[in-house]
Chains A and B, each alone.
Chain A
Amino acid sequence: MTTPKPQYSAPQMAVRTAIILLIFMVIFTAMLSGAYLLTKPALEASALEEKMKLVNEVLPASEYDNTLLTDTVTLPPSPEIGQDQPSTIYRARRGSKPVALVLEAVAPDGYAGKIRLIIAIRADGRIAGVRAIAHKETPGLGDYIEPKKDKNKARPWISQFIDMAIAGTAETAWKVKKDGGQLDYYSGATVTPRAVAKAIQKAARFASEQQEKLFADKGATTK
């Protein structure tokens, strides 16, 4: 420091230092608040856009005509879909006819903790699409559940769930081949697909059982 040091007594020094620290804190807190207020509208808009993009990946936007993001039901914590927190279900409708439910499910038993999935299930019980939205599976090994990381671009692993339904699908169809089922997997990482498949099956069952109730629910019309 190059500032000349005037002589202060110890209490004076303490007060002076505290005041300077306080001033710095006020200035930088003001800066943070300013930046927060400045960016808030843009952030909210892009969060919605993000969510919409995810939903579009699991359910084609052409299939429904309501504003799905505001047509929601809030579920209490539901172990059926692995959620220990309240979660939101989005409802897609065409006219007044139910089209699909979009819900977030959690596979609690991934190789490295929870795997969060977004799943769209059509009114007839068939799965419209699934995406892993957050997971910590081993990079290069278990992360093929994300189509972006999957080596098979033409037919990513996660796409084999499309059109599967609880009704009319044998129990074994929901298991990976190693467990005597029909689902493909990459050798070296079976824990991950097993966990994902189980979570999807549970979510599909939950959706088909609860469907009528969920679509009838008054729910929240605004977010």
Chain B
Amino acid sequence: MTGAEFKTIAANGIWRQNTSIVQILGLCPLLAVTTNAVNGIMLSLATILVMAMSNVAVAALRNLIPHEIRIPVFILIVASLVTVVDMLFNAFLHELYLVLGIFIPLIVTNCIVLARVEAFAAKNPPLQSTFDGIFMGVGMLWTLGLLGALRELIGNGTLFSGIDMVIPGLSPLRLLPEIYPGFLLALLPPGAFILLGCMIAWKNWLDARNAKRRQPKAAPTQSQ
């Protein structure tokens, strides 16, 4: 794998094809989980693991899978892997499982995994596919982390609540004074939609501004 190729994969995952604010995939876990930054980050970490694994498995088997039945086979592979990861975590990394555990089954419902398998891993070698899985997850990590942070800051005036369950000894930050009455809408799913909309607008605005700056060299629109 060349450096340029690696860079493209990373840039696609983190920004250009960002799962949450460009592809708008996996909204159900996004709305349900990002009530605080810690949850969003944890879900993303679990997704990174599953995406890397399912991408590598599908990429390795891609020449054995007939085109006509690829979707059922992909679903079979992803679902089996997620279940196995879930069971192994529960059995042997129980402490971590208590933190990440509820998020792993949620990933099955996340179409990002299947989308990346279909769009990338089915056409590319295992190494590239692994990186694609990881960087798609990293893209999700910062978006969900940011969304979660915004939601809890606006909703509760805190940041990183629940961190003590992940890293004992750390305590959440309270950024707004104790008397802040809270803003429930931000914690409920509609608030997540509104904030996600704002983030998408922000990203599009940044992209438009950057495109204007290097006007002469028209930015090529690219999709996978």
B69 contacts partner chain A, Cβ-Cβ < 8 Å: yes
Give the residues in chain B near A169, CB-CB below 8 Å.
none
Interchain CA distance A192-B181 in the complex, whole Å: 19
The interface residues of chain B lying within 8 Å CB-to-CB of A25 are 76
Out of B90, B156, B188, which one reaches A43, CB within 8 Å? B90
A1: which B residues are within 8 A, CB to CB?
62-63, 65-67, 122
Size range of the interface on A? 20 to 34
B155/A140 in contact, CB under 8 A: yes
Smallest CB gap from A39: residue in B: B91
Contact across chains for A17 and B83 when beta carbons are under 8 A apart: no
| Chain B residue contacts of A139, Cβ below 8 A | 35, 187
Q: When each residue 177-215 of chain B gets 1 if its CB lies under 8 Å from chain A and 0 otherwise, what string results?
A: 000001010011000000000000000000000000000
Is B173 at the interface (CB under 8 A from chain A)?
Answer: no
How many interface residues does B have (CB within 8 Å)? 30
Given contacts A32-B83, A35-B83, A140-B187, contact A3 B73 (CB under 8 A): no
CA distance A38 to B188 in the complex (A): 40
Q: Is A138 a contact of B187 with CB atoms below 8 Å?
A: yes
- B68 an interface residue at 8 Å Cβ cutoff? yes
A17 touches B69 (CB 8 A): yes
B88 within 8 A of A: yes
**Which of A3, A20, A28, A148 has the largest number of chain B CB atoms within 10 A?**
A28
What residues of B have a CB within 8 angstroms of the CB of A35 in the complex?
83-84, 87-88
Query: Is the Cβ of A31 less than 8 Å from the Cβ of B63?
Result: no
For residue B96, CB closer than 8 A to chain A, the reply is: no
Q: 6 interchain pairs (CB within 8 A)?
A: A1-B62, A1-B63, A31-B80, A35-B87, A39-B87, A139-B35
Interface residues, chain A, with chain B CB atoms under 8 Å away: 1-3, 16-17, 20-21, 24-25, 28-29, 31-32, 35-36, 38-39, 42-43, 46, 138-141, 148
Shortest 4 CB-CB distances between A and B: which pairs? A39-B91, A42-B91, A28-B80, A35-B84
Other than the known A17-B68, A141-B187, what 18 A-B pairs have Cβ atoms closer than 8 Å?
A1-B62, A1-B63, A16-B66, A20-B64, A20-B69, A21-B69, A24-B65, A32-B80, A38-B87, A38-B88, A39-B87, A39-B90, A43-B91, A46-B94, A140-B155, A140-B156, A140-B182, A140-B184
